[in-house]
Chains A and B, each alone.
Chain A
Amino acid sequence: METIWFWLVACMLVAYVIFDGFDFGAGIVHFLVARTDAERRVALSTIGPVWDGNEVWLLAAGGTLYFAFPALYASSFSGFYLPLMMVLWLLILRGASIEFRNHLASPVWHPLWDAGFAVSSALLAIFFGAALGNVVRGVPLDASGEFFLPLWTDWTPGKSPGILDWYTVLAGVAVLAVLALHGALWVALKTAGEIEVRARRVAGLVWWGALGLIALLTLASFGVQPRLQASFAARPWGWLFPLVAIAALMAVGVMNRRLRERAAFLASSLFLAAMLVSAAFGLYPCVLPSNGDPARSLTIANASAAPYGLRVGLVWFIPGMLLVAVYFVYAYRSFDGKVGLEEQP
C-alpha cells in the first residue's frame, strides 16, 4: 500500500513538473523569444489560460504527499523552512505578475510585471532543482526524524551541509536549463512567425546546455548518494528509466531541428518524467535519506499514514484523478492551436 502511494505521489510530482514546467520555462525565456511588448503578450498568452491549473498540481501533490506520508511532509517542510518560504514569496510574485500584467496599459506597468515574471520563474526553477538536490543528497535527520538546514555552510555536501552546496546549486542550474528548454519548446509549439523561429533557436542553444549539465549532474548524483548505485545494482531493470531519459533528450534535439514542434515538446515531457522516475527509483524505498546514520532515513514504512487511511484514500483518489484527467483534456482541447497576435482578450 505504501509503495502504491509512493508511486502515486511520484506521478503527481511528474505531472506538476511537466505541466507547470513549461509555464516556468516560458517565463524564463520570454524576454529572449519576444522582443516587443505585443510579442511578450503573445508569449505569455500561451500559458495565460492554463498556468493556474498547472500550479494546482503542486498543491494537489503537496496535499497527497501530506495525506500519504505525514511524517515526511512535517519533517521536510520545517527542515527546509527558509527556502520554502522564499518559494512561497516567489510563487506570489509570479502569480501576481502574470495576472495583473494586462490590467493596465502603460509603458511602465508591463515591463515591471514581465521582469517580475521572468525573475520569479527563473529563481523558482533553481529553487526546485536545489530542493531535488537536497532530497537526493540527504539531510542531517535527528533521532525524532527532524532537521533544520541553514541556507549555506561550507558549500560542500558533507556531514553538515546547507541548503546550497556545489551539488545542489548544480542541480538548480541544471533544472533551470531543462525547464528553459521545455518552455521554449512550448512557446514554439503555441506560436507562429518570428516568435516561433526565435523560440526554436533558443531551444536549440539551451539544449546543449541542458545536455551538459544533466550529464554532470547525473555523475555527481552517483558520487554524492551511494544509495543510487545500490538501487540500480539491486534491480538492474531500473536502468530502463535513465536510458529512456537519454533517448528522449536526443529526440528533443532531433525533433526541434526537424521543426516537429509537437514531437519535440512531448519528447521533452518524456525526458522530464524519465529523469524524475530515475531519481525516485534510485531512492526508493527511502523518501528522505539521512546523510549520517542510514537508520534515521525516512522511508515509505516509517513516514506513511496508517493503513486504513491509505486504503480509504485510494477509493476517492482514483475517481478524483479520473475527473481531473477529464478537466485537463477539456481545458487543453479548448486551448488547442497556435496563439496569434490579434486574438488577445
Chain B
Amino acid sequence: MDALTIHRLHFAFTVTFHYLFPQLTMGLALLILILKTMALRTGNPHYASAARFWAKIFAINFAMGVVTGIPMEFQFGTNWSRFAKSAGGVIGQTLAMEGVFSFFLESSFLGAFLFGEKRLGPKAHWVAAFLVFLGSWASGFLIVATDAWMQHPTGYAVGAHGETVLTSFWGLLLNPWLGWQYLHTMSGSVVTASVVMAAVGAFYLLTGSHQEHGRTFVRLGVIAGIAATVLMVFPSGDGQGRNIAWNQPVTLAAMEGLFDTEQGAPLAILGQPDMERRRLDNPLVVPRALSFLTYQSWKAQVKGLNSFPPQNWPDSVPLLYYSYHIMVGLGTIFLAVLAIATFRLWRGALYQSRPLLWLLMMMLPFPYIANTAGWITAEVGRQPWLIYGVMRTPAGVSAQVSSGNALFTLIGFLGIYTILAILFLFLVYREIEEGPERAAAI
C-alpha cells in the first residue's frame, strides 16, 4: 500500500470511530435537556431520575468522544501537514474557535452537571445541562463549518505560495453550504439519540422491568425521533441535495449512479454501478424522479458521469453510491417505523404493541450506520479534492511521513480503539442493566 492510501485510511478510520460518540452526545444533550425541562415544569421527580439515568450513559459516551476526539485535532498536522499549512489561515479560525468557545464550556459545566445536582438545586442544574448542550452544539457547528469550507470554499483568496488566505470572516461562517449541512448533521444526531432512548425503553418494556421509565423513554424517543427524522428528510436533506447538485454536479451523478446525461433522469432505488461498462447493473428506478427532486421539473436535464472528465470523478464511485443509498434507505425506514409508532402512541396502544416494541429495540444500531454512511457520502463525494476545486487530495498529505510509519500508527489505533469499543459496550450495558431506579436517589 502506498503512503497516501494509508494516510487516507488513517483519517477515515479514526474519524469514523470518533463520530460514533459525538452523534449520541449532541442528540442526547438535547433529550436530557428536555427531560430536565419537564422535571422543572411538572415538579415530577420521575423526569429528574430519568435525566439522571441518561446522564450516566452520557458521561461514558462523552469520555469516549473526548479521548477519540483529541487525535482528530492532531491529525491535520501529523498526517496532512501540507493541507494544514495551506488551509490553516482559514480553517485555523474555526478549529481554534471550537476550542475556545465550545470545549471549555462543555468541560467546565459537565462536572457541575454530572456531580452537582444536589448542591446546585433544580434551576441551576437545568442551567448546567443547558450549557453542556450549548457547548456540544457549538462544537458541532464549528466543525461542520470547517468541513463545509472544504466542501465549498468561501471567504478566501489564494496567496503568493498557493496557500489559502482568509479574506472574509463572515464569508467563512455564513457559507451557504453550512446551514443545510449543519441542520442535516444535527437532525441525524438527534435521530441517533432518540432511537437509542426508544430502544432502551422498548427493552425495558419487553423484559418487564422498569416499566414507568420504559414508557417515558419510548414516548420521548419516538416523538423526538419522528420530529428529527422529518427535519432530516425535509428541508435539510433536500437542501443538502441541492447544495451538491449546484456545486458538485459530478458528485451528484456518482451518488445516483447516473452515467449518461438525461432529460428526465430516473432515480435509482437499487442497482450496482458497473465501472467497466459504465452502467448501472440490475437497476430498479423511478422514471424522471431524479430530475424532479433535483430541479422540481420532470423534464430537467441531469448531467451524468460521462459529461465530466474522469480525473474529476470521485475516486470510488461505487463506495459513494452505496453509502448514499444506505443512508437514504435507512432514513426512509426510520421515517416509516417512527410514523407508525407515533400513530400508535397517539392512539394509546404503543406500550402494549410488542411487535412494534421489538422493531424499536432492533433499530438501535441503524442510526449509527446511517450517520456513518452519510459522512462517507459527504467525504468520498468531495474526492478527488481535499478543498473542493482548490487542492487535490494527494497534494495535502504529509510527504515526509513514510507509509511504514503511518501503517505503524494505524495499527496502533486499530488495537486501541478495539479495546475502547469493548470497554464502552461493557460499561454502557452495565448501566442499562442496573436500570434507572438505582439512579432515583441522588
* B-binding residues in A (CB < 8 A): 49-50, 52-53, 55-56, 58-64, 66-68, 70-71, 73-79, 81-82, 84-85, 88-89, 91-92, 95-96, 99-100, 103-104, 146-148, 305-306, 308-309, 312-313, 316-317, 320-321, 323-324, 327-328, 330-331, 334-335, 345
Contacts and interface: CB of A to CB of B under 8 A. Distances in A.
A309 B89 contact: yes
A84 B409 CA distance: 10
Given A66-B76, A305-B92, A317-B100, 6 more contacts: A73-B84, A82-B405, A99-B59, A309-B89, A309-B90, A323-B104
A313 B89 contact: no
28 contacts: A49-B111, A55-B66, A56-B104, A59-B70, A60-B104, A63-B96, A63-B98, A63-B100, A66-B92, A67-B88, A67-B93, A68-B92, A70-B89, A73-B76, A73-B77, A75-B85, A77-B76, A81-B78, A95-B66, A99-B60, A99-B63, A308-B167, A309-B90, A309-B165, A312-B93, A317-B100, A324-B104, A331-B112
Nearest to A308: B166
Contacts of A316: 97, 100-101
Contacts of B90: 309
Contacts of A64: 96, 99-100
Most buried by A among B73, B163, B399: B73
Nearest to A142: B400
B59 to A, nearest CB: 8
A91 B82 CA distance: 25
> Which range contains the number of B residues in contact with the other chain?
35 or more
A139 to B, nearest CB: 12
Contact of A74 (B85, B166, B169, B423): B85
A88 B77 contact: no
A81 B405 contact: yes
A77 B74 contact: yes
Interface string B405-428: 100110010001000100100010
B68 A59 contact: no
Contact of B93 (A84, A92, A309, A327): A309
Most buried by B among A58, A73, A78, A84: A78
A89 B109 CA distance: 26
Interface of B: 59-60, 63, 66-68, 70-71, 73-74, 76-79, 81-82, 84-85, 87-90, 92-93, 95-101, 103-105, 107-112, 115-116, 119, 159, 163, 165-167, 169, 398-402, 405, 408-409, 412, 416, 420, 423, 427, 430
Contact of B67 (A95, A328, A335): A95
A157 to B, nearest CB: 20
A48 B102 CA distance: 20
Contact of A76 (B77, B95, B111): B77
Given A331-B112, A345-B115, A60 B99 contact: yes
A99 B66 CA distance: 11
Contacts of B430: 103-104
A88 B70 contact: yes
Most buried by B among A66, A313, A327, A345: A66
Contacts of A320: 97, 100-101
B100 A321 contact: yes
A49 B115 contact: yes
Given A70-B84, A78-B401, A88 B111 contact: no
A62 B104 contact: no
Contacts of B71: 88, 92
B99 to A, nearest CB: 3
Contact of A84 (B67, B74, B85, B402): B74
B401 A148 contact: yes
Contacts of A306: 89, 159, 165-166
B412 A85 contact: yes
A197 to B, nearest CB: 27
Contacts of B111: 49-50, 52-53, 331, 335
A175 to B, nearest CB: 20
Contacts of A335: 111
A85 B103 CA distance: 21
A71 B401 CA distance: 16
A103 B400 CA distance: 43
Contacts of A52: 66, 107, 110-111
Contact of B92 (A55, A67, A104): A67
Contacts of B119: 334
A128 B107 CA distance: 23
The 9 nearest A-B residue pairs measured at CB: A70-B88, A77-B77, A67-B92, A60-B99, A78-B81, A74-B85, A327-B108, A67-B96, A63-B99
A328 B420 CA distance: 30
B107 A53 contact: yes
Contacts of A56: 99, 103-104, 107
